[in-house]
Amino acid sequence: MKIDRLLGIINLLVNNERITVGKLAETLEVSKRTIYRDINTLTAAGFPIISYSGYNGGIGVIDGFKFDKRLLSREDWEQIIVGLNAISTFAPDKNIGSLINKIAPPDIESINEHSDIIIDMTQWFDDEKMINDIRQALKTHLCINIKYHTVGAMSEREVEPYKLIFKESNWYLYAYCRLKNDFRLFKINRIGHYTLTEIFEPKREIPAPNMKFQQFLTQDEKVVEQHVCLEFDLANKELLIDKLGALNIREENGIGIIEYYTCSLENTANLVISLQDKVKVVSPQPLYDRVVSIINNMKKVYEG
């Protein structure tokens, strides 16, 4: 958009003593002729631009009219750049790089090098293409036909995508499910196959997704929060902190205790099994029974 480009030119001019038209065109990914037209627009609007001739020539802002370039502090810029870089890790987008070039101060490389935070939102399995395709569907209002795996079942659904959500360590698609006639959250790594289909008109009122205490949010039964208590040997404390987070872990009479709430005992049972002999279920009883049942079934698999 032209207004974005004009703002980009203004930012580059006030952050540089002088800059060439060629450099502006390269940075903003337009032709020199476009830059000249934009300069004329800014000049007509009263923005004080001056031209410098000669070997080190270019354009700049008249000295007497320069304003404070530090409208944002270095710390502000660091947070902005970290956030933009984080977005680009899961869905590479040249527009993000272009945006950084438009708004960032001259010492952008220094900010990147000295930042104490790096956020890489990619997952260990390769979901980059799916994320990019879903973002394309979001931008162009395309329906998505998905084959979705819930606990013990697989269903095919056509959905109208509205948002991508990152929660804890997982990506979710927030969409209107035409099968259930309601909004649902679909866990990205539970989508087995997908195709982009027809264009839809985004006229629906979008309710805010409820992300609290929810694991399998596309199930149709009412979500019920349940309190979980696990015990563990303190020798395994560091491993369990990495897996479950330190906030849920405490010590009591020489025994490690893990307490939290869940809406899916099945998911919690699978978590306990994945931790092998590192934890033991104290409550609730249905969770204890489910874990014992899984262990017995596993034992039968290896018998004989």
pLDDT at 216 over 50: no
Task: Tell me the three-class secondary structure of 56-100, residue by residue.
Answer: CCEEEECHHHCCCCCCCCHHHHHHHHHHHHHHHHHCCCHHHHHHH
Question: Mean of the pLDDT values across residues 76-85?
Answer: 66
Least confident range of 13-27, 51-65, 89-103, 195-209: 89-103
Is 205 a domain residue? Answer: no
Q: How confident is the model at residue 239 (pLDDT cuts 50, 70, 90)?
A: confident
pLDDT at 58 over 80: yes
For the chain, the average pLDDT equals 77
Question: Mean of the pLDDT values across residues 93-111?
Answer: 59
Is 207 a domain residue? Answer: no
The total number of structural domains that make up the chain: 4
Whether residues 56 and 91 share a domain: the answer is no
Question: Mean of the pLDDT values across residues 264-276?
Answer: 85
What is the spatial distance between Cα 119 and Cα 74, in angstroms, rounded to a whole number?
Answer: 18
Helix 94-103 vs helix 74-90: crossing angle, to nearest 10: 170
Whether residues 175 and 149 share a domain: the answer is yes
Residue 238 pLDDT = 81
> Who wins on pLDDT, 204 or 159?
159
Least confident range of 3-12, 187-196, 266-275, 288-297: 3-12
Whether residues 232 and 298 share a domain: the answer is yes
Q: What is the CATH number of the domain that holds 28?
A: 1.10.10.10
Question: Mean of the pLDDT values across residues 159-177?
Answer: 84
Whether residues 84 and 152 share a domain: the answer is no
Whether residues 58 and 34 share a domain: the answer is yes
Whether residues 101 and 158 share a domain: the answer is no
Is 221 a domain residue? Answer: no
Q: How confident is the model at residue 115 (pLDDT cuts 50, 70, 90)?
A: low
Residue 99 pLDDT = 61
> Who wins on pLDDT, 115 or 149?
149
Is 17 a domain residue? Answer: yes
Q: Which domain holds residue 88?
A: 74-114
Whether residues 292 and 231 share a domain: the answer is yes
Residue 141 pLDDT = 93
> Who wins on pLDDT, 91 or 243?
243
What is the spatial distance between Cα 32 and Cα 54, in angstroms, rounded to a whole number?
Answer: 18
Evaluate if pTM is beyond 0.85.
no
Question: Mean of the pLDDT values across residues 169-195?
Answer: 86
Residue 22 pLDDT = 87
> Who wins on pLDDT, 56 or 90?
56
Question: Mean of the pLDDT values across residues 163-192?
Answer: 84
Residue 130 pLDDT = 83
Least confident range of 1-10, 112-121, 249-258: 112-121
Task: Tell me the three-class secondary structure of the chain, residue by residue.
Answer: CHHHHHHHHHHHHHCCCCECHHHHHHHHCCCHHHHHHHHHHHHHCCCCEEEECCCCCEEEECHHHCCCCCCCCHHHHHHHHHHHHHHHHHCCCHHHHHHHHHHCCCCHHHHHHHCCCCCCCCCCCCCHHHHHHHHHHHHHCEEEEEEEEECCEEEEEEEEEEEEEEECCEEEEEEEECCCCEEEEEEHHHEEEEEEEEECCCCCCCCCCCCCCCCCCCCCCCCCCEEEEEEECHHHHHHHHHHHCHHHEEEECCEEEEEEEECCHHHHHHHHHHCHHHCEEEECHHHHHHHHHHHHHHHHHHCC
* Residue 60: how many other CB atoms lie within 10 Å: 18
Q: What is the CATH number of the domain that holds 193?
A: 2.30.30
Question: Mean of the pLDDT values across residues 247-253?
Answer: 84
Whether residues 132 and 105 share a domain: the answer is no
Residue 210 pLDDT = 66
Cβ atoms of 294 and 268 closer than 8 Å: no
pLDDT at 213 over 70: no
Residue 90 pLDDT = 56
Whether residues 53 and 86 share a domain: the answer is no
Is 206 a domain residue? Answer: no
